[in-house]
Amino acid sequence: MEFDVVIVRYGEIGIKSEQVRRKFEALLMGNIRAMLDSKGVAYEDVIKERGRIFVVTKDPKAPRVVGNVFGVVSTSPAVRAGPTIEEAAAVAAAFGKELIKDGQSFGIMGRRSGNQPFTSQDIGRQCGDAVYNAVAERHPKVDLKNPDHSIHVEIRDTHSYIFTDIVKGVGGMPLGSQGKMVAMESGGIDSPIAAWLMMKRGCEIVPVFFHNAPYFDDTTMNRALSTLKELNKWCPGHEMKVYVMPHGKNLRTFLEKGNQKYTCVFCKHLMYKVSRAIAEKEGAHGIVTGSSMGQVASQTSNNMLAEIYDVDFPINHPLIGLDKEEIIEISKRIGMFGISIQKAMGCKAVPKHPSIHGHLEEVIKMEKEQFDFGELVKYEVDNAKIVEI
């Protein structure tokens, strides 16, 4: 059966207050349109009814494209009919003729929304009879628990919708519903996934990349920009620009003047302070990192405490409790992994024996006596380059 509409379902939006729900639904509809346009999917309209959004289209790519919009729980390509059981039953019977083979089972999953003079059980019974009679010579069986074919019939005030497929969506909240976050991006496996997870929760991302030249070369930045281009495919209609910070000069300062085993701690500490400055400039509400507890020296619990000293700004670690295999699985699922493992030069400033149990008191003492972090931050912000994705 050729479908003529895609049913779009959302989750958390539906439990918000009326005012917030309307705002989020409008945002979601705009994001759906932007995603369809970015993928070249033809559609006539995007329509909202209570608890559902409908995309009027016959493009076979539409259900999966819409499913990749943050906030969409699932989609179904459907055939529209009139709002009576008789009209819906006729289409359901046509589905049955197309799908049900000899001896196979089917079930009608009936649902109604609005003020109809019938129940969901009435839908199931009458549509089930229509399907059974249409394929009676094939000796069909009725099975509502585990049928070979599930035919869904949803009748609303103005139309009925008949479908068989449910395409899982990405879920989450509509992008843009939770403001901006500055995402510290390295171009490796972890940081783009952290950014993606915050985008899934509705946050627009302002990526910040710390260029450590001469301690690595442009291969690392190019890889980071490639991951961000892939990430940008998830947010059509939302501008993404990258701040490239000249971090290498300040990193040299830590190596020359500080206790070298604390290099990674001071490096990350400065990254947080620079990211906060960019967040204030962009009107962002927090900082996002790809940290996973204990994965590298800068991500031990001791060092993470020392690194946030005097930052005084929300820092989000969406990967903090995940192990590497779990992070890789997400990376592969969203098509990021192949880009994130492209060959690139690692940072050469990492000491041979970095501190993994940094003491906050020592960091505070060294910062006050050896470094002017205000000047270090000012240098990076004043000399930052902006790259449009």
| Whether 69 contacts 31, CB under 8 Å | yes
Instruction: Look at residue 347 and tell me whether its pLDDT is greater than 90.
Output: no
Task: Give the whole-angstrom CA distance, residue 235 versus residue 207.
Answer: 13
Query: What single-letter DSSP state applies at residue 261?
Result: G
260 or 267, which is more confident? 267
What pLDDT does 337 receive? Answer: 95
Sheet harboring 204-211: ordered strands across?
Answer: 315-316, 287-288, 180-184, 204-211, 241-246, 385-388
| Whether 57 contacts 51, CB under 8 Å | no
State pLDDT tens for residues 27-61.
999 999 999 999 999 999 999 988 899 999 999 99
Task: State the amino acid at position 365 in one-letter form.
Answer: K
Task: Give the whole-angstrom CA distance, residue 54 versus residue 41.
Answer: 15
Q: How many CA atoms lie within 13 A of 112 on its CB side?
A: 16
Pick the range with the lowest mean pLDDT from 142-151, 306-315, 354-363.
354-363
113 or 63, which is more confident? 63
Angle formed at CA 318 by CA 317 and CA 319, multiple of 5 degrees:
90
What pLDDT does 175 receive? Answer: 97
Closest to 279 (Cα-Cα) out of 376, 380, 183: 183
Task: Give the whole-angstrom CA distance, residue 32 versus residue 37.
Answer: 9
Instruction: Look at residue 359 and tell me whether its pLDDT is greater than 90.
Output: no
Task: For residue 98, give both structure tokens.
Answer: 């197309």
Task: Give the whole-angstrom CA distance, residue 32 versus residue 236.
Answer: 9
What pLDDT does 331 receive? Answer: 96
User: What is the mean predicted confidence (pLDDT) over 2-8?
Assistant: 97
Closest to 171 (Cα-Cα) out of 66, 33, 17: 66
Cα 84 versus chain centre, distance: 38
What pLDDT does 194 receive? Answer: 98
Pick the range with the lowest mean pLDDT from 26-35, 92-101, 214-223, 361-370.
361-370
Buried b (16+ CB within 10 A) or exposed e, 108-141: bbbebeeebeeebeebbbbbbebbbebbeeeebe
Pick the range with the lowest mean pLDDT from 247-251, 269-273, 368-372.
368-372
Q: Which domains does the chain have, with CATH numbers?
A: 5-168 (3.30.2130.30), 180-388 (3.40.50.620)
What pLDDT does 363 receive? Answer: 78
Confidence of residue 205 (pLDDT cuts 50, 70, 90): very high
Q: Kindly report the average pLDDT of the chain as a whole number.
A: 94
- Output the pTM of the full model: 0.92
State pLDDT tens for residues 298-317.
888 988 998 998 899 999 99
Cis peptide preceding 214, ω within 30 of 0: yes
What pLDDT does 302 receive? Answer: 86
Residue whose entry in the numeric block shows the structure tokens 């990430």: 231
Q: Where are the alpha helices (DSSP H) in the chain?
A: 18-38, 62-67, 85-99, 120-134, 190-200, 218-232, 248-257, 263-282, 301-307, 324-333, 337-340, 360-370, 373-382
Task: Give the whole-angstrom CA distance, residue 354 versus residue 188.
Answer: 20
Instruction: Look at residue 332 and tell me whether its pLDDT is greater than 80.
Output: yes
Instruction: Look at residue 258 and tell me whether its pLDDT is greater than 80.
Output: no
Residue 246 gets the label, from left (phi > 0), alpha (psi -120 to 50) or beta, of beta
User: What is the mean predicted confidence (pLDDT) over 248-275?
Assistant: 90
User: What is the mean predicted confidence (pLDDT) over 135-146?
Assistant: 96
State pLDDT tens for residues 69-109.
999 999 999 999 999 999 999 999 999 999 999 999 999 99
52 or 349, which is more confident? 52
Task: For residue 186, give both structure tokens.
Answer: 């390295």
Instruction: Look at residue 369 and tell me whether its pLDDT is greater than 90.
Output: no
Residue count of the chain: 389
Number of H helices, E strands in the chain: 13, 15
367 or 96, which is more confident? 96
User: What is the mean predicted confidence (pLDDT) over 137-164?
Assistant: 97
Instruction: Look at residue 370 and tell me whether its pLDDT is greater than 90.
Output: no
Instruction: Look at residue 256 and tell me whether its pLDDT is greater than 90.
Output: no
What pLDDT does 114 receive? Answer: 85
Task: Give the whole-angstrom CA distance, residue 39 versus residue 101.
Answer: 36
State pLDDT tens for residues 12-22.
888 888 899 99
